[in-house]
Amino acid sequence: MSAQHTDDRDPATLRRFAIELLDETDPLVLRHVKKGLRVSAKPDDTLVTQADTEVETLLRERIAAAFPRHGVVGEEFADETGDGETRWIIDPIDGTHNLVRGIPVFATLLAVERAGELLAAAVSAPALQRRWHAAKGEGASVRDLLGERAIHVSAIKKLAEAQVVWSGIRPLEEAGYGPAIAALGRRAWRDRGFGDFWGYMLVAEGAADAMLEIGPTLWDLAAPALIVREAGGRVTDFAGRDSYAGPQSLATNGRLHAALVEHLA
């Protein structure tokens, strides 16, 4: 995978390259899981493992070899600006705390953006043996033990029939949304705490109808946002403004979006 690529504008080409990268990183992550994780705390008290740093290092090396003019934004290391037009957005391990505690809901997130527009994305959860990917204008897909297939958001139109998920009650309460979330739990058909990338992938697959989160960053959201959008959904902030940079995120099947924005206002 050391050869340079010349076509860095075609979403399908970029998606294929992202998938190739995750074919390399998945075994690396699982090797760390099997041999035992080396864990340390970052200045903000979040956790980082050797798997996080090694995965991001590998991805940066492969991207630099294939697309030397591209920039890179990642969770663990400083930004690389590249030519300023195209950049890759990396979360080497989304769900590090799950990984550390032995919960298999963690994934590597990878997206590529050109001039502020997401072109391709892939999310790979090796312990779940599931991978999702999307290219702009070409839809979204999942690959798991059942094979590979296109995915689409649900057709649910009423909150009373909706399954709503979120990533942590405490951040929502601290941001002043505690009463709104409690009321939403009473209005919705069902509510659950499926956090991190997993909540967004459930929306993209149509298994959940909305995902709410406080605190995500660009690298947490870029890849899930494109996958949800290409599956037919919407990703915005709580006010309904298109965004995948945080620190708020509301992902829905689109049909419920206006009602949820109104509920959170």
**How does pLDDT run across 197-233, given as a tens digit for each residue?**
999 999 999 999 999 999 999 999 999 999 999 999 9
Q: Which CATH architecture has domain 159-264?
A: 3-Layer(aba) Sandwich (3.40)
- Both tokens of 37, joined, read 């994780």
Domains 11-151 and 159-264 share a fold: no
Which pair of structure tokens corresponds to residue 146? 């059942």
What are the boundaries of each domain within the chain?
11-151, 159-264
Phi and psi of 109, rounded to 5°? -115, 135
User: Given this model, what pLDDT does residue 25 score?
Assistant: 96
Confidence at residue 44, expressed as pLDDT on a 0 to 100 scale: 64
Query: From CA 32, how far away is CA 132, in angstroms rounded?
Result: 22
Buried b (16+ CB within 10 A) or exposed e, 205-242: bbebbbbbbbbbbbbbbbbbbbbbbbbbbbbbbbebee
Give the rounded percent of residues in the chain with a pLDDT score beyond 70: 94
The pTM of this model reads: 0.94
CATH topology of domain 11-151: Fructose-1,6-Bisphosphatase; Chain A, domain 1 (3.30.540)
Query: Phi and psi for 4 in degrees, rounded to 5?
Result: -75, 145
State the pLDDT at residue 224.
Answer: 98
